[in-house]
C-alpha cells in the first residue's frame, strides 16, 4: 500500500499541471469567449512606443541581474570564472528554463554542460545550481512578505476570502525564513544535516542574495507593468501582488512557460481593475515576446555556437584528464518536447477567443474541414500533449506520430481559415523535429513486445476511439466552431453526446499512451537462472546483485544493486549492441518506478552519451574503482566512470564502492 502511494505521489506534479491547464482553458472559455482577436490587435497597436522601449530596456536589465546570480554562485563554489562566461551560462539556463517548464531541471542541465567545459567540478556545479535556485526563492519570499503586509487585499484569490491577520502571519513567516537563513549563514558557515555537509555562503553574500533576487523579481514585474496604461487604483505594489501570485501558479503547474495558466491568472487577477480585457491580453503577448520568445532564440543560438566552438577547441574547454567527463544534455529533445506541448496547448485553445474563421469558401472534397470546425484540431491538440511525453522518453513511434499530427493539424487549420500563424507554427515544429530522428532510439511497447493482450488492447482501443469520435459526423454541425472540451462543458449539447465525447477522448488518449509507451519494467531476480542468462551474453556475472534488467529485445542485460535511493548498475549492459541502449533506459524506468535514481558503476566511455541523456554525471575512476580526485589522473583519459546524479547520490555511493570493488566477480558454475 505504501509503495502504491509513493508511486502515485510521483505523478502529482504532472496531474496538477494538467488540471491547472484544463482549468485555465475552462475559465478563459467561460469568462472571456466574447473577446475578439481584432480587439486584441487594436490593443497591441495602441501600446505607446515609449512603453515598448521601456519594457525592452527593463527586459535587458532583468536578464543582466540574473547573470549576477551565477556570478555570486561561482564565487560561492570557490571557482574563479570570468563574468562573460557566467553571463552566457546564466542567460542560456534561464531562457531555456523559462520556456520549457521544470525550471530547476532545465536550467541545471544547461549549467552542467557549460560549466563543465570551463573546468568546474561536479560538486562545484551542484553548488552553483543550488545557490541560484535558493537566491530566486529568497527574493520571492522577501517580496511576498512585503506584499502581505502592505497590500493583503490585493493578493489574488486569498485577499478576498482570508482575514488580513492570517496574511500578516504568512508574511511574518516568509520574512522569518529569510532572516533565519541570513543568521545561519553568519553564525554557522558549515551545517551537518542527516550526514551531509552544507556550506553556507556567509552573511554578506546571504544579504547580497536577498537584495539581488528582490531587485530581479521587482524588475521582471515592471516589464509587464510598463506595458499597461494607467488604471485607477492599480498601483505598482498591487500589480506586483497579482504578478507574483500568477507566476507562482504557473511555476507550480510545470506547464512549459506556464502557458495558459500564468496568462489566465493574470487576466483574473486584473479583472477588478478598469483595464479592458483586450488591453491585458495585448500586454501579456508583448511580455511573452520580450521575456520568453526572443531570449529563447538568442540563448539557443549562443548554446549551439558554444557547442560548435568547443568542438573545434576554441573556447578553452577543460581537459578530460583531471576532471569529470561530461555528455551533452539532449537540447534537441528537451526543446522538441516543450515545443510540441505548446503546439498541443495552442490547438486545444483554438476557439477560446472568437476569431470567426470563414468556412464558406470550403467546398467539394474539403467540405469535411468546414464541418469539423475546431472539433478535430482540438483532438489533435490533446494527442500532441500525450505525444510530447513520448518524445521526452525518446520513443521512435512518438517521433513519427508527432510529425504526422503536426502536419495534419497544420493542413486542417489552414483549410479552416485560421490565422496563418497557427499552421505556420505547426509546420515549423514538424520541420524542427524531423532532422533529429537519431535522438529517438527507444522502441514503443507495441513494436518491441510480442502481440498479446497488453499490446493489442491499447491499439484496438485507439482505433475504436477514433471510429467512435468519427461516428459523431451526423451531429458535427452541433460541434462546428467548438472544441471537443467545449462540447463536454456546454449545457447546450445533449448530455449523452457530452458524456460520449468525453469518454471517447479519455479512452483514446489512454490508448495512445498505451501504444507509444515503452512498457513497465519487470526485472529478473538475481538467481542461478539470471546468472546463466547474463553469462550467455558474454559477460562475467558479479558476485552480488539484486536483479537483472534485460533490454527490450531480450538480447542484452545489466545487473544492478539497490543502494538506498540509488539503483546502481554494475557496469555497462552486456549483449547485442542494438539492444544495449534499451537496457539502460529500462534500468532508468525501473528506478523511476521504485522512486530511485539510476547510477552506473564502472561504465565505459562508449555509452557516456546515453548516460548523459539520463542526466547523469560521468566521474573518472581509478584502478580501485573509486572516483579519482581532481588533478590526480595520470596518463591517458580514464576508461571507466561512475555515472550518477552527483549532487544527490555521490555521498551515498562513495562509502560503498570499496566493498563493491573487493567482491566484484565470481565464476559461474
User: Pick from 94, 74, 76, 96: which is nearest to 84 by CA?
Assistant: 74
Tell me the three cell numbers of residue 485: 472540451
pLDDT at 275: 84
* 261 found inside a domain: yes
In the three-class reduction of DSSP (H, G, I as helix; E, B as strand; rest coil), residue 356 is classed as coil
- pLDDT tens, position by position, 511-568: 888 888 776 788 999 999 999 999 999 888 888 899 999 987 788 999 999 988 899 9
Domain containing residue 216 = 2-311
Q: Is 287 exposed, middle or buried (0-12, 13-18, 19+ CB in 10 A)?
A: buried
* 67 found inside a domain: yes
- pLDDT tens, position by position, 81-111: 888 888 888 888 888 777 765 544 556 667 7
- pLDDT tens, position by position, 450-489: 556 556 676 677 677 777 666 665 555 555 556 777 777 6
**Structural contact between residues 107 and 135, judged by C-beta atoms closer than 8 angstroms:** no
* 326 found inside a domain: no
Please give the residue that has the higher pLDDT: either 560 or 363.
560
pLDDT averaged over the chain? 76
- pLDDT tens, position by position, 167-195: 788 888 888 988 888 888 888 777 666 65
Cβ partners under 8 Å of residue 212, min gap 6: 65, 68, 69, 72, 135, 139
* 324 found inside a domain: no
What sign does the CA torsion over 13, 220, 287, 295 have?
negative
**Structural contact between residues 335 and 647, judged by C-beta atoms closer than 8 angstroms:** no
Pick the last residue of a domain from 516, 535, 569. Answer: 516
Q: What is the mean pLDDT of residues 292-300?
A: 79
* 320 found inside a domain: no
* 568 found inside a domain: yes
**Structural contact between residues 67 and 95, judged by C-beta atoms closer than 8 angstroms:** no
Pick the last residue of a domain from 489, 516, 543. Answer: 516
- DSSP sequence for 601-658: EEE-GGGHHHHHHTT-EEEEB-TTSSBPPTT---SSPPS-EEEE-HHHHHHHHGGGHH
d(CA 586, CA 557): 10
* 316 found inside a domain: no
User: Pick from 665, 526, 531, 550: which is nearest to 601 by CA?
Assistant: 665
Please check whether residues 100 and 52 belong to one and the same domain: yes
* 317 found inside a domain: no
Residue 548's DSSP bridge partners are 524, 559
At residue 61 the predicted structure's pLDDT band, cuts being 50, 70 and 90, is: very high
Pick the last residue of a domain from 311, 346, 366. Answer: 311
Tell me the three cell numbers of residue 267: 487576466
- pLDDT tens, position by position, 370-424: 555 567 888 888 889 889 888 887 888 899 999 999 999 998 888 877 778 888 8
Please check whether residues 389 and 288 belong to one and the same domain: no
Q: What is the mean pLDDT of residues 110-132?
A: 78
Give strand ranges (E) for 82-208: 190-193, 196-199
pLDDT at 47: 87
At residue 663 the predicted structure's pLDDT band, cuts being 50, 70 and 90, is: low
Cβ partners under 8 Å of residue 661, min gap 6: 624, 625, 626
d(CA 91, CA 84): 11
Please check whether residues 272 and 351 belong to one and the same domain: no
- pLDDT tens, position by position, 125-159: 778 888 888 888 888 888 888 888 877 776 666 65
Please check whether residues 299 and 397 belong to one and the same domain: no
Tell me the three cell numbers of residue 343: 503546439
**Structural contact between residues 645 and 597, judged by C-beta atoms closer than 8 angstroms:** yes
Q: Which residues of 125-152 are buried (b: 16+ CB within 10 A; e: fewer)?
A: bbbbbbbbbbbbebbbbbbbbbbbbebb
Please check whether residues 490 and 637 belong to one and the same domain: no
In the three-class reduction of DSSP (H, G, I as helix; E, B as strand; rest coil), residue 316 is classed as coil
Please check whether residues 506 and 529 belong to one and the same domain: no
Q: What is the mean pLDDT of residues 317-344?
A: 58
Please check whether residues 425 and 288 belong to one and the same domain: no
Please check whether residues 96 and 126 belong to one and the same domain: yes
Q: Is the pLDDT of residue 290 over 50?
A: yes
Tell me whether strands 597-603 and 547-550 are parallel, antiparallel or unpaired. Answer: unpaired
Please check whether residues 92 and 136 belong to one and the same domain: yes
Give the CATH number, domain containing residue 608.
3.40.630
DSSP state of 393: T
Cβ partners under 8 Å of residue 518, min gap 6: 393, 395, 442, 443, 444, 445, 448, 552, 585, 586, 589
**Structural contact between residues 413 and 367, judged by C-beta atoms closer than 8 angstroms:** no
Number of domains making up the chain: 3
On the CB side of 620, CA atoms within 13 Å amount to 21
The proportion of the chain whose per-residue pLDDT surpasses 90, expressed as a percent, equals: 11
- pLDDT tens, position by position, 583-623: 898 898 888 888 888 999 888 888 877 887 777 878 888 77
Please check whether residues 500 and 601 belong to one and the same domain: no
Least confident of 223-237, 411-425, 567-581: 411-425
Please check whether residues 192 and 293 belong to one and the same domain: yes
d(CA 307, CA 74): 21
pLDDT at 600: 92
pLDDT at 295: 85
Please check whether residues 256 and 296 belong to one and the same domain: yes
Q: What is the mean pLDDT of residues 54-79?
A: 90
**Structural contact between residues 426 and 416, judged by C-beta atoms closer than 8 angstroms:** no
CB atoms within 10 A of CB 431: 12
pLDDT at 325: 39
pLDDT at 567: 92
pLDDT at 656: 79
Amino acid at each position: 500500500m505504501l509503495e502504491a502511494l509513493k508511486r502515485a505521489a510521483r505523478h502529482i506534479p504532472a496531474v496538477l499541471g494538467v488540471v491547472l491547464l484544463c482549468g485555465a482553458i475552462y475559465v478563459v472559455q467561460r469568462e472571456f469567449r466574447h473577446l475578439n482577436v481584432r480587439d486584441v490587435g487594436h490593443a497591441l497597436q495602441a501600446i505607446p512606443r515609449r512603453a515598448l522601449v521601456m519594457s525592452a530596456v527593463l527586459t535587458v536589465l532583468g536578464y543582466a541581474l540574473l547573470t549576477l546570480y551565477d556570478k555570486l554562485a561561482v564565487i560561492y563554489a570557490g571557482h574563479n570564472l570570468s563574468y562573460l562566461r557566467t553571463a552566457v551560462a546564466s542567460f542560456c539556463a534561464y531562457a531555456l528554463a523559462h520556456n520549457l517548464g521544470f525550471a530547476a531541471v532545465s536550467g541545471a542541465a544547461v549549467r552542467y554542460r557549460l560549466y563543465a567545459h570551463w573546468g568546474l567540478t561536479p560538486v562545484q556545479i551542484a553548488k552553483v545550481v543550488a545557490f541560484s535556485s535558493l537566491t530566486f526563492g529568497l527574493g520571492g519570499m522577501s517580496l511576498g512578505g512585503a506584499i502581505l503586509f502592505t497590500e493583503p487585499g490585493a493578493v489574488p484569490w486569498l485577499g478576498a476570502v482570508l482575514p488580513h491577520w492570517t496574511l500578516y502571519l504568512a508574511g511574518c513567516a516568509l520574512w522569518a525564513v529569510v532572516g533565519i537563513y541570513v543568521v545561519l549563514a553568519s553564525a554557522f558557515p558549515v551545517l551537518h544535516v542527516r550526514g551531509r555537509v552544507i556550506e553556507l555562503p556567509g552573511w554578506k553574500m546571504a544579504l547580497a542574495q536577498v537584495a539581488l533576487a528582490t531587485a530581479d523579481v521587482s524588475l521582471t514585474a515592471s516589464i509587464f507593468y510598463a506595458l499597461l496604461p494607467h488604471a485607477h487604483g492599480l498601483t505598482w505594489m498591487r500589480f506586483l501582488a497579482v504578478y507574483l501570485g500568477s507566476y507562482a501558479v504557473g511555476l507550480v503547474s510545470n506547464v512549459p512557460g506556464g502557458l495558459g495558466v500564468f496568462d489566465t491568472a493574470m487576466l483574473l487577477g486584473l479583472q477588478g481593475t478598469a483595464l479592458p480585457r483586450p488591453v491585458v491580453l495585448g500586454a501579456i503577448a508583448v511580455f511573452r515576446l520580450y521575456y520568453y520568445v526572443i531570449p529563447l532564440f538568442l540563448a539557443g543560438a549562443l548554446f549551439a555556437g558554444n557547442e560548435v566552438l568547443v568542438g573545434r577547441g576554441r573556447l578553452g574547454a577543460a581537459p578530460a584528464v583531471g576532471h569529470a567527463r561530461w555528455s551533452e544534455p539532449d537540447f534537441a529533445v528537451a526543446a522538441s518536447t516543450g515545443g510540441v506541448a505548446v503546439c498541443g496547448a495552442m490547438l486545444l485553445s483554438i476557439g477560446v477567443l472568437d476569431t470567426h474563421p470563414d468556412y464558406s469558401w470550403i467546398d467539394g472534397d474539403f467540405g469535411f474541414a468546414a464541418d469539423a470546425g475546431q472539433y478535430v484540431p482540438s483532438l489533435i491538440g490533446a494527442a500532441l500533449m500525450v505525444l510530447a511525453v513520448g518524445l521526452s522518453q525518446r520513443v521512435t513511434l512518438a517521433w513519427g506520430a508527432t510529425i504526422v499530427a503536426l502536419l495534419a493539424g497544420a493542413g486542417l487549420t489552414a483549410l479552416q481559415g485560421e490565422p496563418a500563424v497557427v499552421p505556420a507554427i505547426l509546420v515549423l515544429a514538424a520541420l524542427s523535429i524531423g532532422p533529429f530522428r537519431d535522438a529517438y532510439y527507444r522502441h514503443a511497447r507495441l513494436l518491441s513486445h510480442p502481440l498479446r493482450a497488453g499490446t493489442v488492447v491499447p491499439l484496438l482501443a485507439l482505433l475504436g476511439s477514433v471510429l467512435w469520435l468519427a461516428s459523431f459526423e451526423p451531429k458535427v454541425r452541433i460541434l462546428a466552431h467548438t472544441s471537443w472540451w467545449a462540447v463536454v462543458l456546454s449545457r447546450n449539447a445533449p448530455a449523452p453526446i457530452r458524456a460520449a465525447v468525453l469518454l471517447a477522448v479519455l479512452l483514446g488518449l489512454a490508448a495512445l499512451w498505451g501504444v507509444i509507451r515503452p512498457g513497465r519494467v519487470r526485472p529478473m531476480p538475481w538467481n542461478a537462472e539470471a546468472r546463466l542468462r547474463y553469462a550467455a551474453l558474454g559477460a562475467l556475472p558479479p558476485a552480488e546483485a539484486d536483479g537483472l534488467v534485460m533490454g527490450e529485445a531480450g538480447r542484452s542485460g545489466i545487473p544492478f544493486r539497490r543502494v538506498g535511493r540509488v539503483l546502481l548498475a554494475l557496469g555497462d549492459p552486456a549483449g547485442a549492441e542494438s539492444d544495449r541502449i534499451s537496457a539502460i533506459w529500462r534500468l532508468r524506468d525501473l528506478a523511476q518506478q521504485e522512486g530511485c535514481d539510476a547510477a552506473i558503476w564502472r561504465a565505459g566511455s562508449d555509452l557516456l552519451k546515453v548516460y548523459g541523456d539520463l542526466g547523469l554525471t560521468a566521474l573518472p575512476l581509478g584502478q580501485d574503482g573509486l572516483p579519482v580526485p581532481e588533478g590526480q589522473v595520470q596518463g591517458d583519459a580514464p576508461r571507466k566512470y561512475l555515472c550518477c546524479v552527483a549532487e544527490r547520490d555521490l555521498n551515498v555511493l562513495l562509502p560503498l564502492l570499496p566493498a563493491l570493488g573487493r567482491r566484484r566477480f565470481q565464476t559461474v558454475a
